[in-house]
């Protein structure tokens, strides 16, 4: 009897340890962080947000208003970087996509939301060598961190590091191959020229020279006409960003010159990882923007000077 009791205690202890290990392993992350929410003057909030970011050691790369007076009252995207982001971005393949950090100020029904992309979430989704703990702390100190949002349950680290939406959909490294030029400078010059001209409705928000061989551009997308609407920032976001807390910090989209090649994350990865709960069919689903991945590739290829 004593032996049976002893075995039972051991089994219960093992079960408890397994359960605790499972809880630890099942830590989940969500795409966005809500820094603050409340009434106020929109322009003043944008200015205060930029000031707070710069005071926290972030470098302002660029900003733009992707849309206003549509499905939101107003929206403003701010892109920053810092030493930690630059360093970690250079330690892994395609890490440059994470060097610029996206912050948004969005006004919805008179209420202002300040939000940013969750560093731990993107660090795992983009397969970085670090979870950007310093970036998280700096953003929290500068702007706040009330809650994470963008997914009901969130995703585990294991799921994020091999993320794809479903069978047959692209992974992080299944990028758009947009153009290949004779040199890094030639590739960058082609982008600069075409972005300045607004080729295919794509224009520059910022440029970040990460290293002599890696340059990241953030771009705005405005359809030149109704027949090109599927590449448009406002059209896409009005379909997918329908919940109360807005994922405006999804924008702007990045194009990266890596060596002589110009690439971008595939929309079927980038959109899906930022909106992992988005349904395949029905209202506010991927079905409504099913033409967008090819439309974006076509526009980006044109602005990159691809064949």
Mean pLDDT for the chain?
93
Q: Which residues contact 277 (CB under 8 A, 6 or more apart)?
A: 150, 151, 152
The pLDDT of residue 11 is: 44
Euclidean distance between the first and the last CA atom of the chain, given in angstroms as a whole number:
80
Answer yes or no: is pLDDT of 20 > 80: no
The pLDDT of residue 242 is: 96
For range 98-115, the mean pLDDT: 97
The pLDDT of residue 235 is: 97
Condensed to tens digits (0 to 9), the pLDDT of residues 174-197 reads 999 999 999 999 999 999 999 999
Quickly state the pLDDT bin for 42 (edges 50, 70, 90): very high
Answer yes or no: is pLDDT of 70 > 70: yes
Answer yes or no: is pLDDT of 5 > 90: no
d(CA 306, CA 194): 11
Domains and CATH numbers, the chain: 28-304 (3.30.310.70)
The pLDDT of residue 62 is: 98
Q: Would you call 68 helix, strand, or coil by DSSP?
A: strand
d(CA 128, CA 172): 11
The pLDDT of residue 23 is: 47
For range 205-229, the mean pLDDT: 97
Sequence-ordered alpha helix ranges (H) in 26-156: 42-55, 83-89, 119-125, 133-143
């Amino acid at each position: 009897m004593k032996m049976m009791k002893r075995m039972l205690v051991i089994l219960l202890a093992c079960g408890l340890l397994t359960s605790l290990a499972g809880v630890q392993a099942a830590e989940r992350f969500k795409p966005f962080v809500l820094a603050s929410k409340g009434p106020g003057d929109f322009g003043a909030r944008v200015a205060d947000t930029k000031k707070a970011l710069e005071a926290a050691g972030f470098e302002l790369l660029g900003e733009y208003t992707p849309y206003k007076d549509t499905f939101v009252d107003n929206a403003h995207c701010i892109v920053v970087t810092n030493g930690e982001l630059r360093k970690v971005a250079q330690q892994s393949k395609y890490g440059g996509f994470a060097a610029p950090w996206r912050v948004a100020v969005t006004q919805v029904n008179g209420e202002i939301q300040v939000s940013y992309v969750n560093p731990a979430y993107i660090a795992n989704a983009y397969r970085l060598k670090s979870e950007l703990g310093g970036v998280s702390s700096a953003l929290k100190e500068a702007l706040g961190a009330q809650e994470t949002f963008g997914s009901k349950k969130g995703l585990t680290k294991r799921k994020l590091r091999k993320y794809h939406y479903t069978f047959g959909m692209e992974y992080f490294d299944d990028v758009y191959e947009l153009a290949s030029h004779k040199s890094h400078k030639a590739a960058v010059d082609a982008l600069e020229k075409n972005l300045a001209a607004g080729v295919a409705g794509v224009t520059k928000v910022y440029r970040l020279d990460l290293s002599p061989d890696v340059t990241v551009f953030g771009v705005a997308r405005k359809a030149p006409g109704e027949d090109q609407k599927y590449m448009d920032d406002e059209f896409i976001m009005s379909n997918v960003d329908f919940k109360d807390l807005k994922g405006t910090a999804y924008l702007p989209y990045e194009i990266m010159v890596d060596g002589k090649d110009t690439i971008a994350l595939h929309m079927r990865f980038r959109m899906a990882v930022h909106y992992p709960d988005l349904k395949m069919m029905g209202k506010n689903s991927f079905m409504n923007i099913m033409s967008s991945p090819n439309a974006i590739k076509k526009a980006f290829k044109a602005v990159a000077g691809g064949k």
